[in-house]
Structure 1
Amino acid sequence: MRPVTASINLGALKHNLAQVKQSAPETKVVSVIKANAYGHGVLPVADALSDSDCFAVARLDEAVTLREQGIKKKIILLEGVFSIEEYLSCIELQLLPVIQSLAQFRCLQECMAQNSPGVSKKSNDLLLEYWLKLDTGMHRLGLSEDEFTYLLDNNSEFFNSTNSQCILSGIMTHFACADEPDNPVNDVQLAQFNQQYRQLIKTQSVKTDRVSPVKKSMANSAAILSIPEAHFDWLRPGIMLYGVSPFESAKPIRTGLDEQLMPVMTLSAQLMAIKKLKKGDCIGYGASWCCPEDMTIGVIAIGYGDGYPRHAAAGTPVLIHNTEVPLVGRVSMDMITVDLRPVEEKSIPLSIGDTAILWGDGLPIEYVSQKSGTIAYELLCRITQRVCFNYV
């Protein structure tokens, strides 16, 4: 058996969180751990990121899992919820849903009208905290300018800061182009978000000591690193927590190391065969890569069945004995083939069972994603159940 292993460096996670905090010491941090913590394993990651002020996930079932495993920290549901029953689950589990549509807001109103008396024995008990999401230019989720204005004009009593049963905790939006710091769309979104925040504050009535002012959140990983004026009250780091640069599409390519981040996942497999081939021998399905000379190739026990990218191009780097060797031939379900000549040129002996690093420590994942025509986010999230996880 030649196992594929994803080694998760929990110390690197803590280091990366510290880098986030250092970027804005007075700002709180919502650590984004959706999609099984970007493929790293949500429970160990949540434990390692215990210094976060809050967690965020995409869906209700992700939050339920965290609560069932004893995670007590506040959890924001970035997609919100879609029924009265799900709002009641938020109340029971003390989750903070994000409202990103008028339909979700009306559902919340209906939920509170029908269930507040039965859920709360004291009229001044806080039942639910929630966030509003504004669409300032991403045009995916979020309230449009007109929808936001309509909401404020027709539901001012709901946003009354003395309303103790349903508290608006904050408003958020999402950058469309934060990974391009000079893109003018960033300034447009920032200006609109600030204007809508002022509009909201005018709607609220006199604040009480019990209720904190509505908070703002806009900065994802790229904005944390490059748009300090968007830091506001809450940062929302995602990919940078896992040691990956949010600017991987930059030219020249940037890696997490360029941002003083440490890689968290190191994906490794073992050399399962070493073959001597002749000039003209062709490798793998489709015979798409042929040997330019007599040469040695290695077969590594990993493939797209483990989550390695099927479309990784010839030349994609793999690390063996601290030496980069290029991928040759097509990626198969269970194996890949590499050119071992760079290792032989160093007179390093090769053996079956030698470790091959696919990305991580010594080989930034950004190089692999670029060669595969995708982004590091996808590579991390697509690791399959065949892979053994080791937390160190």
Structure 2
Amino acid sequence: MVDDMLRTPGAVRDAERWTAHNYHPLPVVISSAEGAWLTDVDNRRYLDCLAGYSALNFGHRHPQLIAAARAQLDKLTLTSRAFIHDQFADFCRELAELCGKDLVLPMNTGAEAVETAIKVARKWGYQVKGVPAGQANIVVAEGNFHGRTTTIVSFSTDEDARADFGPYTPGFTVVPYGDLDALAAAIDETTVAVLIEPIQGEQGVVVPPAGYLPGVRRVCDENNVLFLADEIQSGLGRTGETFACDHEGVTPDMYLLGKALGGGIVPVSAVAANADVLGVLKPGQHGSTFGGNPLACAVATEVVRLLATGEFQRRSAELGERLHAGLRGLVGKGLLAVRGRGLWAGLDIDPALMTGRQACERLMERGILAKDTHGSTIRLAPPLVITAEEIDHLVAQLAAVLAG
């Protein structure tokens, strides 16, 4: 198929010629999209099974979100936080209510949300907990992915993300993911927070052992430590609940949100916490020129309203059961293991058959777009608007690839 493409090879060459090679994309050039489907420059259609790493939970060009963006574009796009605009209060209030928190701090990207959480946790540690100046420490997990800023890669255990970007920022202790004893042992009087993903996405959709998240909550409570839940990929309906923490009835001290919050239209992120945590920030201590801008707030408010109906959480739960049942049927037939929750799955392919990259290339030839990670693992995260028939089609195409 790749050899027969008409316009795609030239567009791929142009992209490679004029951009830094910090990504290794599949050789497909998308020109339009709607719902769960993408169309390339040669008018070939593909089922999107990545959804922008969960940024497109509601599909491409969801009518309600597009309408909100168009209406706002005709009125006001940016003021900066030097002034208050008429979309700001509704967004902050409705997102705070969705999270069950007092306050929201809007930013743009997921990495900004993580950086915000780190700064707030440190400041809380000094002003509220009484940690000596300059000694605040945050416990994180092996296999984490929280972004690519210099501070965040300082506590990454992925050498591709970390190597050659030092000197590294101190103030972090890394423990094995899912190991409560190691977590508890790492906490001391200087610990201000535990920062984890309720499900590790980049690592291959790794779900922690049952009881781990309640255990993290308990350990944090016992030691006066903040629990920061990075729900940037796992949150907002992806796993069949509003938040992945909901599966075990756990409420963190702070939610870190992004990706789907922008509806696949604009970058929007936020942290949500109670006033005794976020209230440590004062004017001039943290900010963002575009954070909480009118266009972002208009779109993100509609995202919150879509989630408030519960429809997308139900779809993810119900269709996720269908997806995982189909995938489990391929274990022993080319798949070694399947993990995940809702419409989110990590698949370990038998490396004797092919790499994850090769599997994604062969799926692309069959009209399915997915993404590999860590050698022989691929991730599936279709938009929550996918249908049962489209899920069956995805599983069938994967089965054909594995069968050779």
User: Fold-level match, TM-score > 0.5?
Assistant: no
- Greater helix content: 2
Instruction: Give the TM-score, by structure 2 length.
Output: 0.30
Q: Which has the greater radius of gyration?
A: 1
- Point out which structure has higher relative CO (alpha carbons under 8 A, 6+ apart): 2
